[in-house]
Amino acid sequence: MFSGFDFDVIWRNMPFLLNGVWLTLQLTIMAVTGGILLGLILAVARLSGIKPLAWGVAAYVNFLRSMPLILVIFWFYTLVPKLTGTSISGFYSVLIAFIMFEAAYYSEIIRAGISSVKRGQISAAMALGLTNLQAMRYVVLPQAIRNMIPVLLTQSIVMLQDTSLVYVVGLRDFLTSAEIVASRDNRPTELYLFVALIFLVVCFSASRLVNRLRRKYTL
């Protein structure tokens, strides 16, 4: 069935494709880091007990969660340069879009993780004479983190897949690079199968690892 196909085209264009892989990795790592940090801030704000703040964050999270990521990318890609008045690179516009978008999802995971620690634990910590901060540091967070890390990692695998959407603004990630080669050499079958296979292997192994982690660490 694969007679007449030329998988050699992949090896000939490897350096170009690897550049794409590198951009995908950079974007994923930066967006995951930024997204988790912003998500943590949002989650803490939402659990702070300060009502206007909690409502504001809830509105932000629900709003972004009803948007398609492509539309968010278009918003930021078009508007960040207009708003800042500088010629910021496409990469950073898109990175900001991913961070703002993923933070909404991460903050829900972090909030669920913190809420999963039973109230009695906090009461017990207080009764033992720990301060608020100590209770957070020694009782709540160690348990919350164990519960939420597998979910955060799963979301990050989703995020790695989502980075392929930068195709819509022509940023040269893995998929876009493959698309460029595919249309130049007229070899879509070989290139897209290759991209699919790499994602499948990477994401499948990663999700297996996360599952093992979950079984080992979740309380």
Give me the residues that bind other proteins (CB under 8 A), please: 1, 63, 65-71, 74-75, 78-79, 82-85, 161-162, 164-165, 167-168, 175, 179, 182, 188-189, 192-193, 195-196, 199-200, 203-204, 207
Report, in Å, the least distance between residue 207 CB and other proteins: 7
Question: What's the gap between Cα 77 and its chain centre?
Answer: 18
Q: At its nearest, how many Å lie between other proteins and the CB of residue 129? A: 36
Residues 6+ apart with CB under 8 A from 7: 190, 194
Q: What is the DSSP letter of 138?
A: I
Compute the distance between CA of residue 94 and CA of residue 4 in angstroms, rounded to an integer: 38
Q: Which is nearer to other proteins, 18 or 79 (CB)?
A: 79
CB of 89 to other proteins, least distance (A): 18
Nearer to other proteins, 39 or 163 (CB): 163
Of 76 and 114, nearer to other proteins (C-beta) is 76
Please, what is the minimum distance in Å from the beta carbon of residue 189 to other proteins? Answer: 5
Q: In angstroms, rounded to a whole number, what is the distance separating the alpha carbons of residues 173 and 156?
A: 17
Q: Which residues contact 38 (CB under 8 A, 6 or more apart)?
A: 99, 100, 103, 106, 107
Beta carbon nearer to other proteins, 35 or 135:
35
Query: CA angle at residue 33 from 155 to 219, to 5 degrees?
Result: 50
